[in-house]
Chains A and B, each alone.
Chain A
């Protein structure tokens, strides 16, 4: 897919990987609708892109709120037009420090699922139909190795990401042949606020920079041949074409 001229939507876009993805898409000529809960950091992220000549818009909203999702989609398409790229990047760890599953409150697990699984499902339900009838679109779910490995204390998050991987695969199977690609991407460990919340003792110097990971993910969006519908890809093993 050619990024230039696309309308894109990125959730969790005020910080970390989401912010880097929005920047990378805007730098390649996409019009980007950026969604995040906190209006302040979001406005800052939008201003940075605009200062660099990119097209970006702020939508302050909580993806876990059912009533917010149609508003997000409506505002986004009012601002940037048809959405060709949707990146489900917003996610929550639940309460930190991370807890054992047996110490996790039921309500906390449910809240993590609302943000990391049900929110993306609702938003895709709104956006993917128009993509499929137009015969073009890319939907990216940001996953984690916690979706595959059983890390103690990463239960709520890991469960949500494993389910999101399956959401990605089943959507891909159902949309096969429509021209829409649905991908899941494990970004690897990055120097982000989320990582610091989860593992405060980690040395940031050993972690990837979000901008480098974002460049690989944007390259996946561009590469219809290698990043095929339904795949779960690891950013670390993706080579960006020169």
Chain B
């Protein structure tokens, strides 16, 4: 099973036996299913009780990437409309993304019309930008905009909207898909596990002796509408881990404390960095020590994966049959996860990406 951040729709034929609600929940009223890794007692509580579940000395790691207005309207030189969804951060004037046919997010991604055929060297309009196609692989494209710097960024924010899916028809404003600590706009979709982390809760964690560290991970798209592409998700994603975060992880580990990832993007960044560190030790360098700085996460986690750095995580709720459910089973036995989701359904929790949460530790 592949690691996917958010499987927004049950995989076709997925035998989901439980019915989680699929509506949005105010970030101040999120509920939390607490799932111990090594015990059978499940419980449901308010997300705001998070500090009570952690111990002084534990470390919480968040992804501080802000969400890009990654859905952009486009048009070929022949006048054919398309939607460009950015899948990665904008690098200078280079745009990476996926093309969808005419229409909008109200149509399920897999039912969207195919994008117009576009060839290398073609000039297309994207919002107010004019861009040259420099790479095409199916729906995946790489464009170089004629505009740069101030003009490019103004145009992106003028015509871009957050990427959305069909289960929520209304267009979300950009502010609705940002965490309370978002910084650089690197994420194609919101690192939504951090949405319920209000400053009230973050400061309560600090008072409880729990340190909070950041990394920036360029969360990509969770769906492209193309089966072959979707099976290969997530694609390699850029991340950056500050030196201070590396130090805090080392200190927590040395004390015997736990590292809690807020969201699977944090899991992917930290475990990919750990993998890189292991590889680096082959050359006799830095034997297994995490390194600060930038990297590209290529690691694909699944139920067989044994996490090296991350001891626990906060995530959205995902029913059996969703690929994300499989990822969580790297941390907790499948049977217990199934019972947790049933319990959540019984209590009316929501599996919307702006819905309720679970804490596994």
Contact = CB atoms under 8 A, between A and B. Distances in A.
Interface string B98-109: 000000000000
B93 to A, nearest CB: 12
Interface in B45-62: 62
Contact of B183 (A60, A130, A177): A130
Contacts of B206: 177
A135 B244 contact: yes
Interface size class of A (residues with CB under 8 A): 20 to 34
B154 A133 contact: no
Contacts of B154: 59-60, 75
Contacts of A74: 66, 68-69, 153, 157, 174, 185
Chain B contact residues, majority secondary structure: mixed
B233 interface: no
A177 B181 CA distance: 16
B150 A57 contact: yes
A68 B12 CA distance: 40
Interface size class of B (residues with CB under 8 A): 20 to 34
Interface in A52-98: 57-60, 67, 69-71, 73-75, 77-79, 81-83
Contacts of A129: 179-182, 199
Interface of B: 62, 64, 66, 68-69, 90, 149-150, 153-154, 156-158, 173-175, 178-185, 199, 202-203, 206, 212-214, 242, 244
Given A75-B150, A82-B184, 15 more contacts: A57-B149, A57-B150, A69-B175, A74-B66, A74-B153, A74-B174, A75-B154, A77-B183, A77-B184, A129-B179, A129-B182, A129-B199, A133-B62, A133-B202, A177-B206
7 contacts: A75-B154, A79-B150, A83-B183, A126-B178, A130-B181, A132-B181, A133-B212
Interface of A: 46, 57-60, 67, 69-71, 73-75, 77-79, 81-83, 126, 129-130, 132-135, 174, 177
